[in-house]
Chain A
């Protein structure tokens, strides 16, 4: 149980275009989803926290107009990188939290999406 999928796993796009990444919880309803960015051999950087039906909460320094997050249902969140530039190339990972209680703090992670902007 607690499987999270991401699509696509890999995407190459041209500079100036937009890319949408989907994150789905396959066998549970995710009250909260998180989006991370990871650079090679580095830790995960939290970009935003997304709750179903409400606006995402972005971390300091993350441009909300550039990284659009939509959490339309309890099983789907999307990250759209708008007007992508080469510096946006990175590994993007989503995660989902199963419940709201303190005993359910663990997050279940998707397999990640490798974005390359040329």
Chain B
């Protein structure tokens, strides 16, 4: 079965420090991976995606993610966290097979990022 796991419910970092939000996936075939951010009572905002090509993907607001096929991971990173980065982050994947025809996303359970001043 296709799935996405975000092993940490919450990540706490100090402002200015690097941050990592972890994501691992399980799909058949080549994965198409995404990161989204959600602020309270808002919809999701697209941050970045990996379809093919370079394993290091750069996205919005200074975020980047590294695709690691051998470890089936797609961790979200930022070199220097801001208090305004505090939000709920979702990793998602579109697998191959039937779901790829509609582009149905499979979401992880979400990780709350708390950046303290």
Interface residue ranges, A against B (CB under 8 Å)? 4, 6, 32, 34, 41-44, 46, 49, 51, 57, 91, 93, 95, 97, 102-112, 114
Interface bin, chain B? 20 to 34
Tell whether B22 is near chain A: CB-to-CB under 8 Å: no
Interface of A is mostly: strand
Partner of A105, one of B36, B41, B94: B94
- Nearest chain A residue, comparing its CB with the CB of B45: A109
**With contacts A43-B90, A43-B109 known, is A112 near B42, CB below 8 A?**
yes
- Nearest chain A residue, comparing its CB with the CB of B34: A106
Chain A residue contacts of B34, Cβ below 8 A: 105-106
Q: In the complex the two chains form, is A107's CB within 8 Å of B43's CB?
A: no
Tell whether B51 is near chain A: CB-to-CB under 8 Å: yes
Partner of A106, one of B43, B49, B102: B49
In the bound complex, what is the Cα–Cα distance between A51 and B107 (angstroms)? 21
Give chain B nearest CB distance to A6 CB in angstroms: 8
Chain A residue contacts of B107, Cβ below 8 A: 43-44
In the bound complex, what is the Cα–Cα distance between A103 and B103 (angstroms)? 10
